[in-house]
Amino acid sequence: MHAILDSLAMIGVSYIMGFLFYGFYRQLNARVQRRWGPSIWQNFFDNMKFFFKSETLVHGPMFFFGPMIIMAGAFTTVLFVPFLKDSNWLQGYSQYGNLILIIYLLVVGPLGNALAVGSSGNPFGVMGVTRGLTRLMGLEVPFFLGLGLVMLQHETTSVHAIMAAQDGLAHWGIVTNPIAFCVILLPFIASQNGSPFDVVGAPVEVYAGPRVEFGGRLLGVLMTQNMMMSIAKLVLVTDLFLGGATNILVLILKAFALFVLTTAVSMVFPRLRTEQAVDFFWKVPLGLGVLGVILTVWLPWSA
Amino acid sequence: MSLILKLFFFAVSLSPTALLMGWDGHLTWTLLDGVGLSLTLTPLAAFFLLLLALAAPLVALPMLRRPADWPSLALYAALLAGMQLLLLAGDFVSFFIGWEIMTWSSYLLLLRSPRTEMATSQSYILFNLASAFLLLAGIMVFYGLTGSFDIRPLVGPTQPQQLALALLFGLAFLIKVGTLPLHIWVPRSYDEAPDIFSAFLSAAISKMGVYGMILLLTLFPEALTGLYGRLLNGPAAGYLLAWVGVITAIVATYKAISQEDMKRLLAYSSIAQVGYITTAVGVGSSLALGGALYLALVHTLVKLLLFISVAGIVLQTGQRRFNDLGRLIERMPISFFGVLIGIIGLAGMPPLPGFAAKYLVFVSLVDARWLLLLAAMILSSTAAFIYCYKLIYAPFLGHANSAGAREAKEAPWPYLVPQVILMALLFGLGVFPGFAIEVLIDPVLTALRMAPLGGSSWAVLTTAYGGYDGVVLMSVFVTAFVLVTGLFLLLRGRMRRAGSPYDLSYAGEVPTEETPLHYGAGMGRELRRIPLVGWILRHSSQGFYLGLTRQMRAAAGLLGGFYAGNPQTWILLAVVVFAVVLGLQAVTGGI
């Protein structure tokens, strides 16, 4: 019973945080561009509008199951990320998983959806998937290296143990391992599909995006999973670098701070092409990561 | 008659299973004075015998389909016998005999394909003979050191002795597993071999190289650490081997992405996967070796599944290039699921066992503190998603691009039965990641005097760094999937199937049958614009081998100068050599 309630709570929390954060993003973006912008609830309204469309076009069974897989992947990911520490609530099934598993789970859904995109028969959609996979290949290398530094620092892959080790501001990951945080920050923005790495399915290039064929309720599913997945990633980074949270308010505050930091980067820089993004990841964040490895692992004082 | 022969052949293909179940003992047979064959089954060999026992009948089944190619079947039986001898060998003489039978029978089987070109078969036999001769040289060195052919750890070897053995044996086995730059024979022969036999080449024969590598480590008292000490938290000699493996994996992955033929893509992906195994062997810790064995198991299952599915596609459509296929999902649904499960396992996605294997290797790299290797391995294992997607998109999704693909039917049952069995095995191993650890891998690790990895139950994979629960993972995912689909269907509104395959949002235009809508082989072409990937794809080891050929020719020409046609020159040379030898002997006091 507790497990069911807890799971439902986690899914609800991530959904509500998702549409509020993105609503805030649209407001903030508009103000930076000197527009009024939509209300903070706009993402929720949009999402509901999609869910209650009277007609949905499908291109065969696999096309229908792709969004279901991605949604199931989003639920599973959310349930394997611990939202709070020292608490019975909002834990989901996180004690049965670990950091590497979560990183892989983040990819399961999108790959399932890629099957649906291929099944639609639209070459632009497949082009978008290829771009997405290429960007993933670029960002995962520095991202994983940064996480590797964290795993090495705490000698565990368990998110719970990493959170537990960060009691007090002086032990936060961002303080004890700032290089790792810098290494993962930009790939993290890319994994959130944020500018300047948002060429996959970018708003004005919708004809080359993976979502080109989806409409109606299926698009609603894709939108929902995107918001939930973003929250799962924000919470994960909060757990690893910002000491986790003991209650829901602290969690929202920390995740929001991180969100503002990433959106601030997103709003300033123009979009990169896929190959530019990959090349950038392999030069700057990866270079920094290699430097981090040399400083913390190879040099004599690190042992 | 033919039925009886076929039944007999199928019984032969079950012989590794019978051997695995029934063997308990030790057989010796004296050849010469002091030299004998000794057959015994160590836990390490039993693990690889299990892989063989899995692969042999599953490959035999589609081979038996009419019209049966009798010479192929006979050669396959010889090949199985050779491999079993190789695995049972307790001494290097029987090991070498088994190795040679394997090499020759697989070579002759390769020639049974009408597609095999001269250059392919020559490179296959050349590299494999080089491997065999290196092995023979290694065996001679070993005999020189111990005075016996028995496979057992060396006692107090010096560093040069260990180095000589490691180089000779290591090169022999690295040729077999096909690491860079010794891989050049692999893609061609996997591609051109008979379609079903490719599955066996990739799944079983390449594993013999892995068996050899692990066997080599057991010869040294301190494994790789004894060679050059330790680097960070792992063996320094293994660091080199691990980089060889990872670079092989990266290069082969990009080559796989750029292939336009299904079997060649799978061939490169085999090279990449065995590259991971090489890396894990290089790390050498208990976690890493567990990971290496796990990867070997998963790779065997996955490559059997993929090669057999692809063979079915080639059989039914007559096409093997990505450009000529498409939209087979509705015509060959079981093969679609076969390839789907195969690529999920290949990409190392949870909840299939590929993830468990990769997890062990990743954790072992963190444990050894070799983080740069970890990043490099992530690079190739993420890039692998692209070729995995290509492998499922181009044949099964998109639009049909040839008459063969438009009219194909599902593959015949001898192709489907192995696929279904393999899918079930992969699924089962994924839900119970601890089963393979506890039942298959821990006995090997214990025999190698390493810490076993087994956890509290078959459902969990545990390490000192944390683990995960396969049953919980699978149940959460399946429950979420069922709930989401159910809720979706409960929402009001109706679903409508698109009127035609050309009913697409196509940049404001209406595509027709003539519009090129299949992305096929073009996928991954844009990767060349990334500088590093472009550099890798522009280069190949072909140039290195052409250069080597030129140098060999020049050296032969130089040597040929001594073999002048004139007998007087010969006699003069002989006298000079004789005089020099005598002179040297006199100076060193030999006379």
ipTM of this complex prediction, to 2 decimal places = 0.94
b/e per residue, B4-30, with b = 16+ CB within 10 A?
Answer: eebeebbebbebbbebbeebeeeeeee
Chain A, chain B: beta-carbon pairs less than 8 Å apart: 223
**Which residue from A minimizes the CA distance to B388?**
A111
Is B275 a member of any domain? yes
Predicted confidence band of residue A303 (pLDDT cuts 50, 70, 90): low
Cis omega (within 30 of 0) on the bond before B351? yes
Residues B157 and B77 in one domain: yes
CA B306 to chain centre: 13
pLDDT band at B60 (very low <50, low <70, confident <90, very high): very high
Predicted confidence at residue B168, as pLDDT, reads 93
Total domain count, chain B: 3
User: Whose CA is closest to A201, among A233, A223, A184, A231?
Assistant: A223
Q: Tell whether B469 is covered by a domain.
A: no
Q: What total of structural domains would you count in chain A?
A: 1
DSSP string across A249-301: HHHHHHHHHHHHHHHHHHHHSPPPPHHHHHHHHHHHHHHHHHHHHIIIIISGG
- The reply to whether B103 falls in a domain is yes
Burial of B226 (0-12, 13-18, 19+ CB in 10 A): middle
B534 and B451 together in one domain? no
Of B29 and A24, the one with more pLDDT? A24
pLDDT at B344 over 60: yes
Check whether residue B430 and residue B540 sit in a common domain. no
Q: Is the pLDDT of residue A286 over 90?
A: yes
Q: Dump pLDDT digits (tens) for A242-273.
A: 988 989 999 999 999 999 999 999 888 888 98
Name the region of B216 (left: φ>0; alpha: ψ -120 to 50; beta: rest): alpha
Cα dihedral B528/B534/B540/B544 (nearest 10) = 160
Per-residue model confidence (pLDDT) at position B403: 87
Clarify whether residues B197 and B332 are in a common domain.
Answer: yes
Candidates B477, B478, B533: best to mutate against A (most CBs of A within 10 A) is B477
- Mean pLDDT over B197-219 rounds to 93
Which of A29, A47, A9 lies closest to A227 in space, CA to CA?
A: A47
Min CA distance, A34 vs chain B (Å)? Answer: 31
pLDDT above 80: residue B565: no
Amino acid residing at B455: G
Q: How many CB atoms lie within 10 A of CB B430?
A: 23
* Average pLDDT score over residue span B354-381: 94
A130-160 pLDDT, tens per residue?
A: 889 999 999 999 999 999 999 999 999 999 9
pLDDT on residue A252 = 95
Model confidence at A180: pLDDT above 90: yes
Q: Do A293 and B517 touch (CB under 8 A)?
A: no
What is the per-residue pLDDT for A147?
A: 95
Mean pLDDT (whole number) for B78-101: 93
Which residue has better confidence, A100 or B162? A100
pLDDT over 70 at A204, yes or no: no
Residues B414 and B531 in one domain: no
Query: Does a structural domain hold residue B490?
Result: no
Share of chain A above pLDDT 90, in %: 66
Mean model confidence pLDDT for chain B: 90
Q: Computed from CA positions of residues B136, B138, B144, B147, in that sequence, does the dihedral angle turn out positive or negative?
A: negative
In this prediction, residue B140 carries a pLDDT of 92
Q: What is the pLDDT of residues B101-149, one digit of tens each?
A: 999 999 999 998 888 888 899 999 999 999 999 999 999 999 988 888 8
Q: Is the pLDDT of residue A205 over 60?
A: no
Last residue of a domain, one of B402, B428, B455: B455
What is the residue range of B385's domain? 2-455
Same domain, B536 and B579: no
Question: Is residue B420 domain-shared with residue B538, that is, in the same domain?
Answer: no
Q: Rounded CA gap, B255 and A262, in Å?
A: 35
* Shared-domain flag, residues B267 and B144: yes
State which residues form the domain around A275: 2-302
**Is the CB of B387 inside 8 Å of chain A's CB atoms?**
no
B178 and B225 in a single domain? The answer is yes
Contact A290 B349 (CB under 8 A): no
Say if residue B228's pLDDT is above 80. no
Residue of chain A minimizing CA distance to B390: A130
Q: Distance between CA B138 and CA B142 in Å, rounded?
A: 6
Residue B426 lies in a domain: yes
* Sign of the CA dihedral running B59, B60, B66, B67: positive
Q: Are residues B541 and B432 in the same domain?
A: no
Angle at the Cα of B122 from the Cα atoms of B119 and B128, rounded to 5 degrees:
135
Q: What pLDDT was estimated at residue B220?
A: 84
> Residue B155: helix, strand or coil by DSSP?
coil
Instruction: Tell which of B403, B436, B455 closes a domain.
Output: B455
pLDDT band (50, 70, 90) for residue A209: confident
DSSP states along B422-449: HHHHHHHHHH-HHHIIIIIIHHHHHHTT
B496/A58 Cβ within 8 A? yes
In this structure, the answer to whether residues B529 and B588 fall within a common structural domain is no
What pLDDT does A122 receive?
Answer: 87
- φ, ψ dihedrals at B469, nearest 5°: -110, 115
**Cβ separation of B393 and A118 shorter than 8 Å?**
yes
Pairing of strands B494-497, B230-231: unpaired
- Crossing angle of the two packed helices B286-317 and B262-283, in degrees rounded to 10: 170
The three-state secondary structure class of A40 is coil
Tell me which of A14, A54, A65, A101 to substitute to probe the interface with B (most B C-beta atoms closer than 10 Å). A101
In tens, the pLDDT along B4-23 reads 988 999 999 999 999 998 88
pLDDT digits (tens, 9 = 90+) for B488-527: 988 877 888 888 888 888 877 888 888 888 876 678 788 8
Contact B397, B330 (CB under 8 A): no
A80 alpha-carbon distance from chain centroid: 14
Q: For chain A, state the CA radius of gyration.
A: 19
Contact (CB, 8 A) for A238 and A255: yes
Contact B140, B26 (CB under 8 A): no
Nearest to B96 by CA among B106, B105, B85: B85
Q: Express each pLDDT in B250-278 by its tens digit.
A: 999 999 999 989 999 999 999 999 999 99
Are residues B421 and B538 located together in one domain of the fold? no
